[in-house]
Amino acid sequence: MTPFPTERPRRLRSTWALRAAFAETRLHPANLIAPLFLKAGIDAPVPIASMPGVVQHTRDSARKEARALAGLGVSGVLLFGVPARKDPLGTEAHSPTGVIQQAIRAIKDEVSDEMAVIADLCLCEYTDHGHCGLLAGDEVDNDSTIEVYGQIACSQAQAGADVVAPSGMMDGQVKAIRAALDDSGFEHTPILSYAVKYASSFYGPFRDAAEGAPRFGDRRSHQQDPANYREALREAQLDIGEGADALMVKPALGYLDIVRAVKDHFNYPVATYSVSGEYSMIKAAAANGWLDERAAVLEALTSMRRAGADLIVTYSTRSAAEWLS
C-alpha cells in the first residue's frame, strides 16, 4: 500500500485534548490589563454608549472592579482620569488631589501588590482644547509639553503608581519623564512607553469615554501614519534609548505585523493596546447576532499573543478573564 499522505497534520487536531496540548500560544488572565476610566464629581458609574459594558467609574466602583480583576488573576489596570475642571494647561493632571492621583491611592490600597496599577500619562483628558500637550498658537508645543509630562509622572508615582505609561507621542517624552522621576527619587518606577502609536480612526469611542476629543484639528502631527512600518521601529529604538522599560504598540488588530516586528527587533517586553474601536466593533456585531462575542474576543486576543504581545490592554479583560478561568 502506498503510504500517502505521509504527513497528516490533522492527527494533532483530532481531539480537544490534542489541540490543547499542541497549542503554540497560550492566553492567560495574567496577559491582560484592564483600562479603567475615573470620572470626578459623579456618584454612580456612567455607561459609555459607544462602548457597551464600559463605564466611567467613581473611585468606589473602580476600587471594586479592581478587586474583582485581581481575584481573576489579571495583571494590571490602566487608569485614565476625567477631571471635573479642564484648563488650557491641563493642571489637574498633576494635582496631588487630582482624579487620577486619588484613584491610584484608592486602588493601590485595595489591591496592594496583587496587581499593577499603571497610570496613563497624557494631557488630552485634562486640557480644555483636548490636545495632548500645551499649545503654541494652534500647534502642540513639544518641548514645553514634555516638561509637564515629567511633573505628571512624579505626581502619579507619588500617589503610588507602579508604572507610568506616556501616550502623548511627544518627541523626547520618555527621556524627560525618566529624568524627572529619577530626580524625585522614583528611579524604580518603570515606564511603559506607547512607543508606537498610530493616528487611528479606531480611537473614536474612547474619546467619548475619556472626554478628550480635540476641539479643533487632529493628532496627525504627532501620532504615526498607518502607512508606515520602518518608522515604528525607529520610534521604538528611540524610546529604548531614552529609557523605556517596556514598549506598547497601538492599536492592536490592524497592526499585528508591527507587534511582531517590535518583538523580533528588540529584547524588550511588548504590550499591545486593543483599542476602543476594536472592542466596539465586536460588541456591535455580537449585539446584532452576527458574531459570537466570546469566540471572537478570544480569537483576537490569541492572535495578539501569537504576534508576540506579552501583555494586552483590552476592554474585554473582565469577560475574557472569566471565560479563561
Site residues (vs ligand PBG, CB under 6 A):
120, 122, 124, 167, 203, 206, 219, 275-276
DSSP characters for 198-221? B--GGGHHHHHHTT---SSS-STT
| Residue 152 to residue 133: CA distance in whole angstroms | 12
Which residues make Cβ contacts (< 8 Å) with residue 63, sequence separation at least 6? 106, 107, 109, 110
CB closer to ligand PBG, 156 vs 276 = 276
- Residue of minimal CB distance from ligand PBG? 206
Q: Assess whether 175 carries a catalytic annotation.
A: no
Quick check: bond before 5 cis, omega within 30? Answer: yes
CB closer to ligand PBG, 51 vs 107 = 51
Q: How far is the CB of 258 from ligand PBG (least distance, A)?
A: 16
Nearest to residue 234, comparing CAs of 252, 218, 258?
A: 258
CB closer to ligand PBG, 203 vs 268 = 203
Burial label, 218 (beta-carbon count in 10 A; 0-12, 13-18, 19+): exposed
Which residues make Cβ contacts (< 8 Å) with residue 211, sequence separation at least 6? 82, 125
CB closer to ligand PBG, 12 vs 213 = 213
Q: Which one of the listed residues 39, 86, 197, 263 is annotated catalytic? A: 197
CA Rg value for the chain: 20
Q: Which three cell numbers stand for residue 269?
A: 517586553
CB closer to ligand PBG, 67 vs 95 = 95
Q: Assess whether 39 carries a catalytic annotation.
A: no
Catalytic residues: 197, 250
